[in-house]
């Protein structure tokens, strides 16, 4: 299955933050929106980074409550790993596992078009496996 198919089913909504947002503000947004990561967009609406729950835990562990007052740019990942709509679930599962990341922004022609989580990929893989099993059962019983 392709990333574009997952986004078609899931939707293309991406929650974003601004580089000037505080760590506390982004943490509150992550909790309110029930997501594990947000893409940080600069003034030109280009991807400046990505921030995950892990990044926030790390800054709080290092700096304590003071870390919550820092701008999100102090703890976001700047070297973002991206996915493209034409990539397969299997290729992304490998990339995410190798790099130990759980979220990939999806870009097309340099424009942010969605975000894929490891959970989205696993859900897709399970659905694919169930469909194959059902097809085999139908073939065997026919």
- Which tokens go with 118? 């490891």
| Opening angle at CA 125, ends 122 and 130, nearest 5 | 125
For residue 71, the cross-strand partners are 22
Give the burial string for 97-115 (b: 16+ CB within 10 Å, else e).
Answer: eeeebbbbbbbeeeebbbb
User: What is the overall mean pLDDT for the chain?
Assistant: 93
Q: What is the pLDDT confidence band of residue 140, given thresholds at 50, 70 and 90?
A: confident
Tens-digit pLDDT profile for residues 117-132: 999 999 999 988 888 8
Task: Classify domain 3-141 by CATH number.
Answer: 3.10.580.10
Q: In what order do the strands lie in the sheet with 37-41?
A: 16-17, 37-41, 47-52
The total of other beta-carbon atoms located within 10 Å of residue 44's CB is 6
Tell me which DSSP letter residue 72 carries: G
- Which tokens go with 76? 């976001």
Angle between helices 3-10 and 89-99 (to 10 degrees): 90
Tens-digit pLDDT profile for residues 32-78: 999 999 999 999 889 999 999 999 999 999 999 999 999 999 999 99
């Amino acid at each position: 299955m392709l990333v574009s198919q997952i986004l078609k089913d899931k939707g293309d909504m991406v929650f974003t933050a601004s580089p000037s947002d505080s760590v506390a503000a982004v943490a509150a947004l992550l909790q309110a929106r029930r997501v594990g990561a947000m893409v940080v967009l600069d003034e030109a609406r280009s991807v400046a980074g990505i921030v995950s729950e892990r990044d926030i835990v790390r800054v709080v562990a290092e700096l304590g409550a003071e870390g919550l007052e820092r701008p999100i740019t102090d703890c976001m990942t700047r070297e973002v790993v991206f996915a493209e709509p034409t990539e397969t679930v299997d290729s992304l599962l490998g990339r995410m596992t190798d790099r130990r990341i759980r979220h990939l922004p999806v870009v097309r022609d340099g424009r942010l078009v969605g975000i894929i989580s490891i959970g989205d990929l696993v859900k897709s893989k399970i659905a694919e496996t169930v469909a194959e099993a059902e097809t085999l059962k139908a073939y065997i019983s026919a």
